[in-house]
């Protein structure tokens, strides 16, 4: 149900944007850029002349993979995700790979995985390290080419540059076989079959310690796409809807502002995280509380989730917990409800709860 809500809310937003933009033709870019599904009746498949489901985006077209992936959650689609999808589908159309790059927590790997779900293809995510050698990568590519699965090599630029130069030749061999529309090809001394649904993607964190620069011949085989900070507010709103919250729009706005102020006002600690991963884990926790106590106020449920997720991180004796309670009261108090008491009424905060009342609660919701 949660996945259906995420997809339907996105579809509703697309329709609203199309109406606002005055789109009236199927060739308009605002419509063509969407990932769309069609049923081609005159298309023969391995099942016979029963037709084929295809997915289209911009000027590209892909056969639906029919891979059973289970009842998995879907990614919230934002404008950044749309741009990533267009780059990746265009790269596959030209028989190339995709290379999302950006800071941690911007959705690089999740975007690749969700595109695979949208096209019903199996996607294998592999976390790379400097211990990989060309023999292991060769076996990996041989299996992918024969099975037709997708691969997402996470943090690809952690591999040693000597290995990357050989990997470039391995990827180029498969790319040429795809461009020639071959059914079989020679790969490292063996003749293996080629399944056309094969695709390879890499993600990178540029500028991080221990990362290497990709060789030029490897760069030419992947279409780059820059991933920046996603729209936290839109993601939080749709996830809250999928978890059963009615007032998701206001709660998402308040929660995102609370996280932004917390990252700016609290002390700098290595274990503090107010990024996308923290937002997602908090929303999942709020959904669990919503299902366990459906009659409780949604404001209180979200505050409890924020308390359970954040108060244990605060250092004993620091001023971060009282400051966070003041920030929470600024955004979440409604009808005179004491948010600071909820936020600090946990066993982990007993040593500092008395300091919180030095902050003056606000009774105005922002």
Give tens-digit pLDDT for 180-238: 999 999 998 899 999 999 999 999 887 766 677 888 889 999 999 998 888 888 888 88
Burial group, residue 79, by CB count within 10 angstroms (0-12, 13-18, 19+): exposed
Burial group, residue 233, by CB count within 10 angstroms (0-12, 13-18, 19+): middle
Among 51-55, 199-203, 241-245, 361-365, which range has the highest average pLDDT? 199-203
Other CB atoms closer than 10 Å to residue 202's CB: what's the count? 27
Of the candidate ranges 10-14, 82-86, 140-144, the one whose mean pLDDT is the lowest: 10-14
3-state SS class at 365? coil
3-state SS class at 154? strand
* Residue 342 reports pLDDT greater than 60: no
Q: Report whether 86 contacts 29 (CB < 8 A).
A: no
Query: Which pLDDT does position 69 carry in this prediction?
Result: 84
When pLDDT is cut at 50, 70 and 90, the band that residue 96 belongs to is very high
User: For the chain, how long is the longest CA-to-CA vector?
Assistant: 75
Six token digits for residue 42? 């005159």
Other CB atoms closer than 10 Å to residue 48's CB: what's the count? 7
Angle, helix 320-332 to helix 248-265, in steps of 10 degrees: 150
* Residue 86 reports pLDDT greater than 80: yes
* Residue 362 reports pLDDT greater than 50: no
Q: What's the Cα-to-Cα distance from 365 to each of 233, 244, 318, 329, 330, rounded to whole Å?
A: 17, 22, 27, 9, 7
Query: Which pLDDT does position 277 carry in this prediction?
Result: 79
Q: Report whether 150 contacts 122 (CB < 8 A).
A: yes
- Per the confidence metrics, is the pTM higher than 0.95? no
Burial group, residue 181, by CB count within 10 angstroms (0-12, 13-18, 19+): exposed
Proportion of the chain above pLDDT 90, given as a percent: 31
Q: What is the mean pLDDT of residues 317-341?
A: 53
Kind plus residue range of the DSSP H or E element containing 40:
strand 36-40
Q: What is the mean pLDDT of residues 321-340?
A: 52
When pLDDT is cut at 50, 70 and 90, the band that residue 320 belongs to is low
Average pLDDT, the chain: 81
Top-confidence residue, 192 or 104:
192
Query: Which pLDDT does position 49 carry in this prediction?
Result: 63
* CA nearest neighbour of 198 among 255, 266, 262, 147: 147
Q: Which residues sit opposite 125 in a β-bridge? A: 152
Q: What is the rounded distance in angstroms from the CA atom of residue 335 to the CA atom of residue 140?
A: 59
Query: Which pLDDT does position 345 carry in this prediction?
Result: 46
- Triad 293, 295, 300: Cα angle to 5°: 75
Q: What is the mean pLDDT of residues 308-334?
A: 62
3-state SS class at 49? coil
Angle, helix 276-292 to helix 298-310, in steps of 10 degrees: 130
Q: What is the rounded distance in angstroms from the CA atom of residue 35 to the CA atom of residue 101?
A: 22
Distance of CA 139 to the CA centre of its chain: 28
Query: Which pLDDT does position 316 carry in this prediction?
Result: 64
Residue ranges of domains in the chain, CATH in brackets? 71-226 (3.40.50.300), 232-356 (1.10.8.710)
């Amino acid at each position: 149900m949660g996945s259906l809500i995420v997809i339907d809310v996105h579809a509703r937003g697309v329709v609203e944007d199309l109406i606002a933009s005055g789109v009236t033709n199927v060739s308009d870019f605002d419509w063509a850029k969407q990932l769309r599904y069609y049923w081609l009746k005159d298309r023969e498949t391995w099942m016979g002349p029963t037709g084929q489901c295809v997915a289209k985006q911009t000027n590209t077209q892909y056969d639906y993979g029919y891979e059973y992936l289970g009842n998995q959650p879907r990614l919230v689609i934002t404008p950044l995700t749309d741009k990533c999808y267009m780059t990746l589908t265009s790269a596959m159309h030209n028989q190339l790979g995709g290379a999302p790059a950006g800071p941690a927590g911007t959705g690089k790997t999740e975007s690749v995985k969700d595109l695979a779900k949208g096209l019903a293809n199996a996607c294998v995510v592999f976390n790379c390290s400097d211990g990989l050698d060309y023999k292991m990568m060769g076996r990996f590519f041989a299996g992918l080419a024969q099975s037709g699965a997708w691969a997402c090599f996470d943090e690809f630029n952690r591999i040693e540059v000597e290995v990357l130069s050989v990997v470039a030749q391995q990827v180029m061999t498969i790319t040429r076989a795809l461009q020639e529309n071959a059914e079989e090809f020679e790969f490292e001394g063996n003749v293996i079959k080629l399944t056309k649904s094969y695709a390879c993607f890499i993600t990178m964190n540029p500028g991080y310690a221990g990362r290497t620069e990709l060789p030029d011949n490897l760069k030419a085989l992947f279409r780059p796409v820059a991933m920046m900070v996603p729209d936290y507010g839109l993601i939080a709103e749709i996830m809250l809807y999928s978890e059963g919250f009615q007032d998701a729009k206001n709660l998402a706005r308040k929660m995102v502002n609370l996280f932004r102020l917390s990252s700016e006002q609290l002390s700098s600690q290595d274990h503090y995280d107010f990024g996308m991963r923290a937002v997602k884990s908090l929303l999942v926790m709020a959904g669990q509380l919503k299902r366990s106590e459906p009659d409780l106020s949604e404001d209180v449920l979200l505050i409890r989730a924020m308390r359970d997720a954040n108060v244990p991180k605060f250092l004993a004796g620091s001023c971060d917990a009282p400051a966070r309670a003041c920030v929470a009261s600024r955004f979440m108090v409604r009808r005179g409800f004491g948010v600071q008491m909820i936020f600090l009424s946990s066993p982990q905060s007993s040593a500092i709860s008395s300091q919180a009342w030095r902050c003056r609660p606000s009774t105005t919701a922002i």
